[in-house]
Structure 1
Amino acid sequence: MSLREVVNATMTSSRMLWIDASAGVAGDMLLGALVDAGVGLDVLQAAVDSVIPGSVRLRAAQVTRAGLRATKVDVDVLVADPPHRTWTAIRALIDGARLDEPVRAAAAAAFARLAGAEGRVHGISPEQVHFHEVGALDAIADVVAACAGVHALGVSAALCSPIALGSGTIEAHHGVLPVPAPAALELSRGWDVAAGGSGELATPTGLALVTSLASGSAPFPAMRVEVTGIGAGTRDAPERANVVRIAAGPPCAGPQVHGVAQEYAGRRIGDAVLLEANIDDLDPRVWPEVLAHLMASGASDAWLTPILMKKGRPAHTLHVLAEPEAAAALGDAVMAHTSTLGLRRTAVTKDVLERAWTPLAVAGGTVRIKVGHRDGRVLQVMPEFADVVALAAERGEPVADVLLVAQAAAPAAGIEPGAPWPATPGENPA
């Protein structure tokens, strides 16, 4: 039985994907890792052809990088003068293509992140962004094919190692740029990164893909590894293998995974479950009560995202973040309190600050101040809004006025970002 047949025979919709980007990441490296893991090149080519037919051809070959075997996927552009497209034009191509819906959504999300980053860097609306390097046909192929490959592996959740960005300078459309390039640095916000070596190790396309496909930065998750893949970049540096590695398989059950926080690089990492459902037939007046009920029933968080479903129907995606042991009961609550016929469950990893609540005297009453801290230092400070609302009602004052007073009370008591935590004696009158 071929590797691809093994992949197809063992495919499961509950697979977790881990992406090792510790040597950097680019679109072609991800494609190589997916093909190396058993995804057929014809599957990727078909997805690309549905978006930009007759424009590119994918080729795969075995190579070595610093002595390590890997698969290299090249994208041959078949068009003499590839156009520079706006995000609006690329989105229209993706929307009009014959793609599985998860592939379409993932590809659109990756390019939306690219457009947002480029727009912020250049001070323009994402809709006005003209993609040059990242908007070329090979980059469209990278994004669409990578999303199709992850879908073909049956992945329902993904995590990524800290990402090596590189150092030095590169030649770009706008001239010489420092590494990480401005768009790459923008895309890395909220993710664990490191320089990791010289040159551009993480491209904007690669960063947009991993930060769209993965839910966060984390060490290798507890899983039963079913498939692995190694994808090569173009350069072959002797000091390190220029590759992206992936591993996929179902998450392990048991206390080593569920409900146990881990320490990783000084951070508290905990496992959770994300429940989601697309709903287009619920009276919108019901949603506030649904969210309130889910929070009262033990959800860590619950929120809505407006979406458009098939035939242009307006709808909402309901998201419920839950501890693993509460996921089943909250799933039942979603079924009971909404009109959905089913929901998706995705294993995710949370990186959370330690939290504390400190009561402070504010405007003749008491407001709890929520403090997020790590490594003995305060990082986040915010008055508990419910306390502010209650005190404003009690005193007959505007909520905004009481909130301003509460926000000023915290630093006056020595509770502000950068301050030691717990507060030293005499700093906190509470």
Structure 2
Amino acid sequence: MTEGQGGRHAWIDASAGVAGDMLLGALLDAGASEEAVRSAIDAVAGGGVRLRVREVTRAGLRALKADIEVVDAEPPERHWREVRDLVERAGLPGAVERDAIAVFARLAGAEARVHGIEPDEVHFHEVGALDAIADVVGCCAALADLGIVTVSASPVALGSGSVRSRHGRLPVPAPAVAELARGWQVSGTGDGELATPTGMALLRTLADRCEPLPPMTLEAVGVGAGTRDPAGRANVVRVLVGVDGEHESERLVLLEANVDDLDPRLWPGVLQGLLELGAADAWLTPIVMKKGRPAHTLSVLCRDTLAPTMRERIFRDTSTLGIRHSARGRVALDRSFAEVAVGSGRVSVKLGHRDGVLVQVMPEFEDVAALARREGRPERLVLQEAQAAAAAAGLVVGEPVSRS
């Protein structure tokens, strides 16, 4: 059984840029288990890569360098659907699998827009080689091992000049990086390419907001090194891990819009899109408007820094002409995850706790449904078995949270 630590927050300092190997090095330096990261990478890459970790200095500062050595000198190009299949077949913990797939989905969406094709037609070359797959899976596994519940990040330095690619020399930021940076605070500080597509996709998928270092009780600092050691600046990504200082009372914004003329088949996609953008919650309420017209109120709860992005998405994806907003506060339980064995697989269990005592124990239904499909069994039976396995592992409401 693996368990996260409730309320842990990670802040990514990308003020000197961000790349997948740099973020992985920072997370390992912050305390993530090399064994857990290697196991996840091997499960997906099948021995096609090796992870080597070493201490280096960048601008005189100690940092951890995570090197991904590709065993195959000419790894095959892979379409997005092939990468997705690799991850899904690897048997990763539920949260790691979901995060890794989400990162590559965002990357595929950016590449598709840049090249004017459908996401499933995207074939990864620079960004999809085995080393990038290892960076993505390794970072997601490291976050899970550290028990990170929430992630935020600084503005990103993209660099300047030009970079050589398979398609020739391109201006910095490269097209895919620029696409991935939409809605984030960026700068052209620094020479050369400072943000890679893989690094930017990881940051945009895992971090729910762009902000300065937030209030928290600091527990660990990790420093991950880039390959170059240029004069005048430290080529590093830092990760600061601590207990969220705002988790007792979060400041949120509630956005609301009344809609009476949207095809109801579109609503599931609208809600899912808002959640993927980082909304804390999104829901519909049936209402009756003037002249007796049936309609829905769309409600979106998010951090205030995300409100502009959410408003743009609501205007884009619905037919509303106006959006109300109001300040809200939220008190949330500390949250963490555990894993239990069920049938031929494993299911993540979400734990809600306060003052070290379990208050909620909930198997992740997506894991339950996926396992039920693989085994050809009813979801309700797999859910019952997951609940029983959680209880057998000591995950019972009213019991203390295990730190083992």
Normalised by the length of structure 1, the TM-score is 0.61
1:148–1:239 CA distance, 2 compared to 1 (3 A)? same
Aligned equivalents of 1:120, 1:347: Cα separation in 2: 27
Aligned partner of 1:18 among 3, 8, 11: 11
**1:349, distance to aligned residue in structure 2 (A):** 5.5
1:100–1:167 CA distance, 2 compared to 1 (3 A)? same
Aligned equivalents of 1:254, 1:143: Cα separation in 2: 27
Match of 2:244 in 1: 251
Aligned equivalents of 2:239, 2:43: Cα separation in 1: 26
Alpha carbons 2:229, 2:235 under 8 Å: kept: yes
Alpha carbons 2:103, 2:205 under 8 Å: kept: yes
SS of the residue 2:216 aligns to: coil
CA deviations 1:346-383 (Å, max 9, x no partner) are 99563445xxxxxxxxxxxxxxxx99xxxxxxxxxx74
Matched, 1:384 2:351: no
SS of the residue 1:23 aligns to: coil
Corresponding letter in the other structure for 2:107: L
Match of 2:305 in 1: 350
Alpha carbons 1:165, 1:196 under 8 Å: kept: yes
Aligned equivalents of 2:150, 2:138: Cα separation in 1: 18
SS of the residue 1:32 aligns to: helix
Match of 2:210 in 1: 217
CA deviations 1:146-173 (Å, max 9, x no partner) are 0110111111111110001011001101
CA deviations 1:306-364 (Å, max 9, x no partner) are 9xxxxxxxxx99x9747xxxxxxx9xx9xxxxxxxxxxxx99563445xxxxxxxxxxx
Matched, 1:199 2:192: yes
Match of 2:143 in 1: 150
Alpha carbons 1:164, 1:194 under 8 Å: kept: yes
* Structure 1 gap segments, 5+ residues each: 1-7, 260-270, 274-287, 292-302, 307-315, 323-329, 334-345, 354-369, 372-381, 387-430
**1:221, distance to aligned residue in structure 2 (A):** 0.9
Aligned equivalents of 2:142, 2:191: Cα separation in 1: 29
Corresponding letter in the other structure for 2:322: E
1:197–1:183 CA distance, 2 compared to 1 (3 A)? same
Match of 1:305 in 2: 272
Alpha carbons 2:114, 2:176 under 8 Å: kept: yes
1:35–1:13 CA distance, 2 compared to 1 (3 A)? same
1:86–1:67 CA distance, 2 compared to 1 (3 A)? same
SS of the residue 2:223 aligns to: strand
User: In terms of Rg, which structure is larger?
Assistant: 1
**1:94, distance to aligned residue in structure 2 (A):** 0.7
Aligned equivalents of 1:213, 1:348: Cα separation in 2: 15
Match of 1:109 in 2: 102
**1:272, distance to aligned residue in structure 2 (A):** 6.3
Aligned equivalents of 2:176, 2:130: Cα separation in 1: 19
Aligned equivalents of 1:152, 1:64: Cα separation in 2: 26
CA deviations 1:104-125 (Å, max 9, x no partner) are 0110011011111111111111
Match of 1:188 in 2: 181
Aligned equivalents of 1:236, 1:207: Cα separation in 2: 20
**1:39, distance to aligned residue in structure 2 (A):** 1.1
CA deviations 1:152-211 (Å, max 9, x no partner) are 111111111000101100110111000000000000001011011110000000000000
Aligned equivalents of 2:72, 2:164: Cα separation in 1: 23
Structure showing greater relative contact order (alpha-carbon pairs closer than 8 Å, 6 or more residues apart) = 2
Match of 1:63 in 2: 56
**1:254, distance to aligned residue in structure 2 (A):** 8.3
Alignment of 1:384-423 (within 5 A): 384=322
Aligned partner of 1:52 among 45, 50, 63: 45
Percent of counterpart pairs with the same letter?
A: 50
Aligned partner of 2:33 among 40, 43, 61: 40
Aligned-residue Cα RMSD (Å) equals: 3.3
Normalised by the length of structure 2, the TM-score is 0.65
> What is the aligned length?
285
1:137–1:253 CA distance, 2 compared to 1 (3 A)? closer
Aligned equivalents of 2:304, 2:153: Cα separation in 1: 11
**1:385, distance to aligned residue in structure 2 (A):** 8.2
Match of 2:372 in 1: none
Alpha carbons 1:157, 1:348 under 8 Å: kept: no
**1:72, distance to aligned residue in structure 2 (A):** 0.4
Match of 2:131 in 1: 138
Alpha carbons 2:163, 2:169 under 8 Å: kept: yes
Aligned partner of 2:67 among 70, 74, 91: 74
Corresponding letter in the other structure for 1:190: G
**1:384, distance to aligned residue in structure 2 (A):** 3.5
Alpha carbons 1:218, 1:349 under 8 Å: kept: no
1:253–1:80 CA distance, 2 compared to 1 (3 A)? closer
* Structure 2 gap segments, 5+ residues each: 255-263, 286-300, 313-319, 325-404
Match of 2:341 in 1: none
Alignment of 1:159-198 (within 5 A): 159-198=152-191
